[in-house]
A and B are shown apart, each in its own frame.
Chain A
Amino acid sequence: MTGTRVSTAAGGQALELSWVQPFGMVGLSIANFIRRVLTLGIYDFWGRTEVRRRIWSGVRLDGEPLVYHGTGRELFVGFLIVFLLVLLPIMLSGLVVVAVFGASPGVTGLFQTVIFAVASLLFGVGSYRAQRYRLSRTTWRGIRGSVAGNSWAYGWTYFWTLLLIPLTLGWIIPWRATALQRRLTANMSFGDKPFVFQGHSLSLYGPFSVMWLGIPTILVLASVVIGASGLLPGPQALEALGDGRDLAPDIRARAALLPFILLVVGYVSYVLIGAWYQARVFNHFARSTLFGAAHFEGRATGLGLAFIGVTNMLILALGAVVATSLLSAILVGVVYLLGPDQAQYARTLTAMAPVFVIIAILSFGLLLPVTQARYSRYLVEHLRLVGPVDVDAIAQGAKQEINRGEGLAQAFDVDAF
């Protein structure tokens, strides 16, 4: 190519990663919501695709956008296949098991254990396949991404390490996250150039111990501080109670405060320390990911992630409140229009009930696209590609034949996007 760019000595150029806010995420959310309701939910696959295209276009490398090429039809067909091959058989086998062996707790317990095992395995397989699908549908300057490797191997690692989490009191988590990330990243390519993962879980154990020990420590400290502050009834107050049958109302109220305060302190510290750990993981994985002579560098912070997480939750709640208020308004309207004829009213409500249930369930996802765009923005703005990339040397990779979407991932709700 005869480009007009400045080449660096290392035979490449530095590529700047940036974010351009896509226009109208709120409008798109509302438009998709209405379409989902009108089509009894099926538009979801196409709506999701449009959201992804918009978010992908917000990610810029050297000023040019990533392009998402997936289609709603691919997602729909993928889900349909998983529905018929996985979800429906699970549902029917549950009925058959109950019909054949009866509903004894032993049988249902065993059945649920088997279902849990199968679902966990498929969850891992599904998330790998979802990544593979998305990357194969992502291009930059016309060059595709790809993920090679075996999704079942990933699913198996995901599964057995999941079983070990309670046995190791959680201490396998950093190793597990690194092993899974390595499996994924080491199989990723952009065009014909592979990504390389060069990281060790050891560097995550410091932050992990802080999190593991930190939250209980904060709770103990909080109890001590609350006790010393005299906010709660002291020993002399308790002594004065005698047999304790007649607690003064104010003392009782203050005693009831302790668990509440501890709950709040515990939750806040969990959110903050959890986000701090997640930020460390993100930055570590970024630094461990190499592309040719370049590597990534993450600068996410715990406060930043916590802020995005909490505000996103508030935004989703706002969407659900708005949608359910509208729903209530419709209900009130129906009652008003029907007047005093209660039988007619009951019949109409019964007929409309499925529609209301669908609207209520969909309402939690009303502003999901907005939150997804905010989260993507945060990650992109806190990620850099450091070092030269020789773009002219990156050729199109061999085309992988993936002709359906990430059904498995959607069936088990793996999807972040």
Chain B
Amino acid sequence: MSMHSDPVDKYADRRFDARFSDGTSAGSETVGVALSPRGIEISRDRDPQPLVWPYGAIVTAEPLSDHSIDALVTYRYQQGASLFVPGGAFARALAEVAPHLTARAERWRNTRPWLWVAGAVVLVSGLIALSDLSPARTLAGLMPDAARQTLGAQVIGSMTRGKTVCEASEGRAALDRLAARLSAAAGNAAAFKLTVVEWSLVNAFAAPGEQIVVTSGLIAQAQSPEELAGVIAHEMGHGIERHPETGIVRAVGLTAAAELMLGGGSGTLTNLGLALAQLSYTRAAEREADDHALAILRATSISAKGLADFFVRMGKGEKDDGGVSVDLLRSHPQTAERLQHVLSAPTYPTKAAMSAPEWAALRAICEADAKAR
């Protein structure tokens, strides 16, 4: 036997006991089975001619493997009929004769199209990222103003929840004057609205609908009104470029995609609100915002040195000494690069961002509130 190279010849003489159901009822009969070159031959007592099921048109209930303990075979052109052959010997022989029925072949058949799809998804996302196309940005640009306003109110609401909003009248007036001045120079259709929250974090955020949140920590840390003006101008830059709206559209899109890929079981759709407040921007987006900030500051004759000082402070991290630490900037190349960009802008005659009394009132915007109550 072993001298034959064709597996069909190897099993030509083997007979296997099996049970056959013709699919018209749930009864079954005992039959003899052989693996002939034409296909599986099923010999029934009452039929002189065996049934032949060609290998190309048969399906096994379970993919065949070395560990198969039996095989249940059906035939594409005889609906409902099934052949059950107990014992592993037949299954192993059939796997040799019809390799497309093996577990390995089947899994590869099922996986291959999706590997192509996954590859295409990675490729397309890569190309979109590389060519600076942003579908999220296009969609964000199409968002109506009313929707941007409510989204902005949503984000501001979730950011200020449980925190005090600082509204001391003199400080507020000083801030409004600065905001109006910057806003007018920003060239945006709508004016920017600023909210100050009592929060030790040193930061400012742009929200959809021309909204900006400034923390009391940032005001306390700022060494000059120019520094604060620089940061606010930067956030206005994000707002002009619709970065917050883009971030939200992207978050929604990614969540929907994740939900689709994970079969809906991840429950992320319901937690979408959580994702909205968590926005961070790409390097290119920060650069765009910086460019806007420089233009705004120039138009308002406020020195860009304030913005540069803020980058230095960011680069220093939490270090207390006043000097510029070049080493620390080296570990934050993005900040160093942005600092360089701001410093390399041409200089122009400058005016103070606000008067000393205004600056003092603004710095007390949260304290005065507490006293008033």
B135 interfacial contact with A, CB 8 Å: no
Q: Given A142-B74, A391-B26, A392-B25, verify A83-B151 contact (CB < 8 Å).
A: no
Could you say which residues of chain B place their CB within 8 Å of the CB of A190? 26
Which single member of B62, B259, B332 contacts A87 (CB below 8 Å)? B259
**Which residues of A sit under 8 angstroms from B68, Cβ to Cβ?**
23
User: Number of contacting residues on A, CB 8 A?
Assistant: 69
**Complex contact A343–B333 (CB within 8 A):** yes
* Pairwise interchain contact B150-A392, C-beta atoms closer than 8 A: no
Please give me the residue from chain A that is nearest to B30 by CB atom: A4
Pair A87/B264 contact, Cβ less than 8 Å: yes
Contact yes or no, A42 B25, CB < 8 A: no
- Max chain B CB contacts within 10 Å: which of A4, A24, A64? A64
B45 at the binding interface (Cβ < 8 Å): yes
Which single residue of chain A is at the shortest CB-CB distance from B19? A64
- Tally inter-chain residue pairs, CB-CB below 8 A: 178
Measured between beta carbons, the chain A residues less than 8 angstroms from B22 are: 1, 142
Does B114 contact A65, Cβ atoms closer than 8 Å?
no
Residues of A within 8 A of B331 (CB): 342-343
Taking the nearest CB of chain A, how far is it from the CB of B282, in angstroms? 10
Which residues of A are found within 8 Å of B269, using beta-carbon distances? 87, 90-91
B60: shortest Cβ distance to chain A, in Å?
A: 10
Do B259 and A358 touch across chains, with their CB atoms under 8 A apart?
no
- Closest Cβ of chain B to A372, distance in Å, is 15
Stretch in A99-107, A207-215, A276-284, A301-309 with 4+ CB within 8 Å of B: A99-107
Say whether B272 contacts A140, CB under 8 Å.
no
The chain A residue with its CB closest to the CB of B259 is A87
Q: Are A394 and B26 in contact (CB under 8 A)?
A: yes
A84 to B, closest residue via Cβ = B260
Residues of B within 8 A of A335 (CB): none
Stretch at the interface among A44-52, A160-168, A380-388: A44-52
Q: Are A65 and B72 neighbours in the complex by a CB distance under 8 Å?
A: yes
Q: Does B265 contact A (CB under 8 A)?
A: yes
Contact A358 B151 (CB under 8 A): no
A1 touching B262 by the CB < 8 A rule? no
**Contact residues in B for A411 (Cβ distance below 8 Å):** 264
Q: Are B110 and A99 in contact (CB under 8 A)?
A: no
* CA–CA, A394 and B224, complex, Å: 90
Instruction: Decide yes or no: A64 and B28 within 8 Å by CB, A94-B272, A142-B74 being known contacts.
Output: yes
**Interchain CB contact under 8 A, B114 and A410:** no
Interface residue A264 (Cβ < 8 Å from any Cβ of B): no
Q: Does A2 belong to the interface (CB within 8 Å)?
A: yes
Interface centre among B80, B84, B114, by most A CB within 10 Å? B114
In the complex, A35 has a CB within 8 A of chain B: yes
Q: How far is the CB of B311 from chain A (nearest CB, A)?
A: 15
Q: Can you list 15 residue pairs at the A/B interface with Cβ under 8 Å?
A: A38-B118, A39-B111, A39-B114, A57-B72, A83-B259, A90-B269, A91-B269, A95-B252, A103-B154, A142-B23, A142-B81, A343-B334, A391-B25, A391-B28, A395-B25
B interface residue numbers (CB < 8 A to A) = 19, 21-30, 45-46, 61-63, 65, 67-70, 72, 74, 80-82, 84, 86, 106-107, 110-111, 114-115, 117-118, 121, 146-147, 150-151, 153-154, 157, 252, 254-256, 258-266, 269, 272, 331-334
6 pairs of A and B residues whose beta carbons are closest in the complex: A1-B27, A41-B261, A39-B114, A141-B21, A142-B23, A394-B26
Interface residues of A (CB under 8 A from B): 1-4, 20, 22-24, 31, 35, 38-46, 50, 53-54, 56-57, 63-65, 67-68, 72, 79-80, 82-83, 87-88, 90-91, 94-95, 98-100, 102-103, 139-143, 190-191, 342-343, 354, 357-358, 361-362, 391-396, 410-413
